[in-house]
Each structure stands twice: as C-alpha cells, then as structure tokens.
C-alpha cells in the first residue's frame, strides 16, 4: 500500500530519497522490506519540493512505475530543497490508476502523501463541501485535511482530526500520512510502518532508505511533528 518519505533539513536533491541511498524509494517500488500489504509499488509515483522563488511547492507526478520514467533522474538530481517529499504507489483495489490519484496532493503551500487505504465512506463526511481532485481514497483524505488547514487549524490538529475519526470508523484503515507546509512535516503511523532518522535533519519514511544506525520505528497510532527545532512524537 505505497511507500513514501520526507526530508526536512539542509537542502539536498530529491535523489537522496529516490536512488542515492541503498534502499531508496526506487528500490522500494519493486523490493520493499517492511510493507505489510502488497509487494510492488508500480502504480505511479510523485515528488514534491519547495523552491524559494515560488510561493507554492513544485510537484511532478506520473501514473507509470517510477523505474520507467527516463526524465526522472535528471529532474530529481536538479531539484534541491530543505523540504522534500516523494511517494511510490500501490493502488488500492478499485481505485483509479491516474496521475490525479497519485501523491503528493497539494493545495496552497501544503503537500500531502498517504501510505495505506481507507473506506471513502469514512472520509467523505470529513471533507465537508471540498471536492477531491480524484475519486481515490487518498484524494478524499487530502481534501479533508486541506479543509481543516484552510480553516486555520495547525498541521498537527488538522491531521489528527482526520486520521482518528477515519481510523475509528474504518477499523481496517491504514493511515500513514506525510503532510508539510515547507517549514514542518507531520507524519502519522496507523496500522503501517513508519520510521524516523535524526542527523543533520529529519528523515521520515515508510521504511529505512538505508542501513545506517539510528533509524527508530514510530509506535502505531502515533503522530510525529518534525520542525527545524527537533522532533515530537505523541499518541493519536
């Protein structure tokens, strides 16, 4: 059910999430090591980053396997930022295979990625009058979170206010989210794996992108707030 990763810290290229590390998202797309549901993430991919010359984040998405895009290596090597997000997709059965169903989703300054699945009936009421850009479950989650962010809720509150009721309404939901505004990253662990690594910055990922020491699993049903000042982990 997808793999994703985010970086917050000193500017670095998107290749640092994709293919520079030994087990980056490129490798996780066909050989994940900790994925609990599904074995291959070949239903699309997306990347997002923040450029100081642009008010809104830059995003690139495709509905093809990440290893088939001949333009990606050059693009990912040139895209450099202090806040990066990337995802490879394994579509929930019955969900559309299209670019608009592929993370990261965006509105204004925000980027959102979802690793997992959830009943759309559990999320639709949370989105209010927001219309998602795709009919897929992840797009409905994004619409619900963006609705709260647009109303002024802080990142942590907006994410928790969607993940908790959706997860309680759908006990089989897998709700690992990455949400960022370019200055902070919020991540959730809900019935899927999430790891954090602290070094020169903060690296959050569905599973470790390399074999360095220092990777720590995030407990299930917990939320992580990563800022330039450090990391806070709290129960959901």
User: For residues 89 and 48, is the Cβ–Cβ distance under 8 A?
Assistant: no
What is the pLDDT at residue 211? Answer: 94
User: For residues 234 and 223, is the Cβ–Cβ distance under 8 A?
Assistant: yes
2, 37, 83, 136: which one is catalytic? 2
End-to-end CA distance of the chain: 21
What is the pLDDT at residue 95? Answer: 83
User: For residues 115 and 192, is the Cβ–Cβ distance under 8 A?
Assistant: yes
What is the pLDDT at residue 43? Answer: 87
Q: What is the CATH number of domain 3-235?
A: 3.60.20.10
In angstroms, rounded to a whole number, what is the distance separating the alpha carbons of residues 127 and 99? 21
User: Which regions in the chain score pLDDT beneath 50?
Assistant: none
What is the pLDDT at residue 1? Answer: 62
What is the pLDDT at residue 186? Answer: 98
Output the pTM of the full model: 0.95
Boundaries of every domain in the chain: 3-235
What is the pLDDT at residue 229? Answer: 87
What is the pLDDT at residue 58? Answer: 97
**136 included as an active-site residue:** no
What is the pLDDT at residue 90? Answer: 87
What is the pLDDT at residue 41? Answer: 79
């Amino acid at each position: 059910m997808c793999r994703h990763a985010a970086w917050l810290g000193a500017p670095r290229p998107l290749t640092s999430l994709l293919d520079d590390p030994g087990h980056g998202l490129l490798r996780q797309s066909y050989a994940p090591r900790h994925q609990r549901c599904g074995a291959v993430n070949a239903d699309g991919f997306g990347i997002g980053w923040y450029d100081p010359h642009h008010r809104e984040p830059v995003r690139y998405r495709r509905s093809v396997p990440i290893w088939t895009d001949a333009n990606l290596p050059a693009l990912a090597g040139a895209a450099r930022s202090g806040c990066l997000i990337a995802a490879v997709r394994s579509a929930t059965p019955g969900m559309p295979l299209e670019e608009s169903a592929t993370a990261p989703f965006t509105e204004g300054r925000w980027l959102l990625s979802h690793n997992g699945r959830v009943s759309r009936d559990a999320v639709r009421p949370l989105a209010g009058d927001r219309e998602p850009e795709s009919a897929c479950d992840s797009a409905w989650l994004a619409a619900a979170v963006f609705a709260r962010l647009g109303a002024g809720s802080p990142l942590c509150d907006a994410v928790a206010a969607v993940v908790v009721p959706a997860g309680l309404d759908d006990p089989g939901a897998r709700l690992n989210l990455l949400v960022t505004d370019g200055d902070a990253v919020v991540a959730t662990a809900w019935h899927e794996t999430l790891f954090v690594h602290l070094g020169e910055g903060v690296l959050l990922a569905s599973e470790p992108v390399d074999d360095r020491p220092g990777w720590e699993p995030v407990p299930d049903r917990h939320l992580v707030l990563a800022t330039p000042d450090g990391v806070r982990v709290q129960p959901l």
